[in-house]
Structure 1
């Protein structure tokens, strides 16, 4: 623990910063923790019901898809770069599809402006179906129940607890010395795209929701004090 209250300083590498942020967010959800040197987030803040969060069902479903991708990736060895490349090629269009679906619902998420390639893998088929299903879910801010808040936090924690595989691979391939494997640059590019999804989409909507929950938490505390 640093003197600032946060558990670690942010990395200089922009592609590693989302993983640093997710570790901080995970701590706030499990035990409570500092998100900035002066901002402490108690665990109970995340578990409030009756808060208005946009497209909560789509966010939960997208996290389920991402988790499945992470579990698939975690079963792939860094030493088998041909297989790893194939897995990443299957994941890439899934992530693009999720981002584009969420961009249609959340104004602060940008679309990729790209079309994901089709794949015959079961992971791709399952992800594509669920991605299309996200488009049918509501886009209005809805007051969530306590059960939905718990489900949201649970799936986020599962993602946060499994996302280190992407960070590990980025560090591994970033430290490799020449001569590189033929797939090296393509693997790194796809890992960076995965990292960008976490930074520009997942972390963005989580932090946005955190702001809404924090506002409700403070108002509830102020109301209790003035009674």
Structure 2
């Protein structure tokens, strides 16, 4: 879904979100649309992009720069318990970022239903480090919001790669080398990330898209009437 949404933002003619719903690219750039909570949404998007940047670096270190799910990543065969533990630790860091996003922004944005937030284990230090990237930035610009979403929806495909790799039958070689207990923990964390993006990020983005489409349709009706 996030890949489809990104396509509607970057393709000149927009794209289909469902078989029946086509979203023109202009929907995202139209003026006059008053979206609520842009400050909080841009902070969430920026924090998640920064966290995913860190995760991408770790993924390249442990699995190589290739596509993890295709089995073309480098370094296969060199993954033991130590390397698997290190990757699991990075997934735990990202999980804590998700928890802090829900704790700090969930109520304000009216999102996170169905996502059970745990008490983070590192006192918010990592979250604070990511949060500093939003200081002093223009956090009420619709254009900045859409640009952030483009970046986030591109970055998040890393999680899709790893999910496909660990759930594929047969399992991708990169994860096939993992000890069974660590592989099981990694699988649960990746599933939890999917739940997070569905109940938090996609919830407010789809809500905003609905509002933007409504305004766009009214503009089109006015143009036709004229």
Larger % of strand: which?
1
Q: Which moved more, 1:122-131 or 1:76-85?
A: 122-131
Mapped partners of 1:179, 1:225: distance in 2: 60
Structure 2: gaps of 5 or more residues: 64-78
Distance change in 2, residues 1:173/1:219 (3 Å) = same
1:130 Cα offset (Å) = 7.7
State the match for 1:84 in structure 2: 87
Q: 2:16 aligns with which of 30, 34, 39?
A: 34
TM-score (norm 2): 0.76
Q: 1:8 aligns to what?
A: none
Equivalent residue, structure 2, for 1:126: 129
Instruction: Answer yes or no: is 1:105 the counterpart of 2:108.
Output: yes
What is the RMSD computed on CA atoms of the aligned residues? 2.6
**2:106 aligned with 1:117, yes or no?**
no
One of 99, 124, 147 as aligned partner of 1:154: 147
Cα shift at 1:185: 1.3
Separation in structure 1 between the aligned mates of residue 212 and residue 120 of structure 2, nearest angstrom: 34
2:8–2:16 CA contact under 8 A, matched in 1: yes
Matched-pair contact (CA < 8 Å) for 2:84–2:178: no
Residues 128, 115 of structure 1: alpha-carbon distance in 2 compared, 3 angstrom cutoff: farther
Pick from 146, 167, 175 the counterpart of residue 160 of structure 2: 167
Deviations 1:166-208, CA, capped at 9 Å, x for gaps: 1111122223359834311111111111121111111111111
Match 1:93 to one of 91, 96, 104? 96
Structure 1: any 5+ residue segments left out of the alignment?
A: 1-20, 139-143
Change (3 A) 1:82 1:180: closer
Q: Aligned pair in 2 of structure 1 residues 113, 90: CA closer, same or farther (>3 Å)? A: closer
TM superposition score normalised by structure 1: 0.76
Q: Structure 1 residue aligned with 2:49, among 56, 60, 67?
A: 67
Give aligned pairs, total: 193
